[in-house]
Amino acid sequence: MYAHEIDYKIIGEDIQIVEIELDPNETVIAEAGSMLFMEDGITFETKMGDGSQPDQGFLGKLLQAGSRVVMGESLFMTHFTNRGVGKKKVAFSAPYPGTIMPVNLANVYGNTLIVQKDAFLCAALGTRLSIQFNQRLGAGFFGGEGFILEKVQGDGMVFIHAGGVVIERTLNNETLRVDTGCVVGFEPSINFDIQRAGGLRSMVFGGEGLFLATLRGSGKVWIQSMPISKLVQRLSPGGGQANKEGGSVLGKLGNLFED
């Protein structure tokens, strides 16, 4: 199924929205609860599954919906369709401060994008969403953010939300190490793993976390400066103070080893 061709506009700086313009009978799929406004003529319907396989039976839709529950997403997705005359607009808002990243899957390697499980915002109908478990042993044991990933496939526009600023890097048979929560997405040609961050002293007192995400190979990688997990940690009582008082997993205890 070919994805619907949709027009869009990103509005805002820190807390962005994406405004999508639909021709008659065009549809966009979105996470439940992300809609900001819709013009008269737009109708919406909550369904199990992404609608990329219209002939899929009930069991297939149930399995797909179940995989979304595993990822911590809603069991259902909302389909917004222009049933009116002429172009109509519908807009979706980001769930927290950050950047909405538009990606044309037709220009991505293998027409596939691997993203963090909470990164998907909305996409043109025809985009397929599925779960992808990271097969690496390290990611399974130590990288909570990187163990369960989401695979986005298709040939149309998809909109990914990231925390803070987004950096796009193109690797050419190179290796990039990133804070585990800061990886937004990557092309399937990239090898993703979670590895130990340096020696024991650096792991305990470095303040960079015990493990880092390792991205290796050739392809595009997207990185976010402030993932929601880090934002929550900083805003929690004592979260910011702990980082100031030693910058390590041991907090004040780390000061005992400074002299």
- Percent of the chain at pLDDT exceeding 70: 66
Counting other chains too, the contacts that 66-74 makes at CB distance below 8 Å and 24 or more residues apart are 67/130, 67/131, 68/129, 68/131, 70/131, 70/148, 71/117, 71/118, 71/131, 71/148, 71/150, 72/117, 72/118, 73/31, 73/117, 73/118, 73/120, 74/31, 74/32, 74/33
11 φ, ψ (degrees, to nearest 5)? -120, 135
pLDDT tier at 95, thresholds 50, 70, 90: confident
Range scoring the smallest mean pLDDT among 82-91, 194-203, 248-257: 248-257
pLDDT tens readout for residues 24-66 = 999 999 988 899 999 999 999 988 766 665 555 555 555 555 5
229 or 136: which carries more pLDDT confidence? Answer: 229
Q: Which residues pair with 174 in a beta bridge?
A: 217
pLDDT tens readout for residues 154-197 = 999 999 999 888 999 999 999 999 987 899 999 999 999 887 66
- pLDDT given at position 71: 53
pLDDT tens readout for residues 203-239 = 455 445 567 889 999 999 999 988 877 767 667 666 5
- pLDDT given at position 108: 94
Tokens describing residue 166: 């987004």
Classified as helix, coil or strand, 87 is coil
Q: What is the pTM of this model?
A: 0.78
Q: Is the pLDDT of residue 246 over 50?
A: no
In what helix (H) or strand (E) does residue 200 lie, and over which residues does it extend? helix 200-205
Q: Are 169 and 221 contacting, i.e. CB atoms less than 8 angstroms apart?
A: yes
Please give the average per-residue pLDDT across 91-104, as a whole number. Answer: 91
Tokens describing residue 216: 């290796």
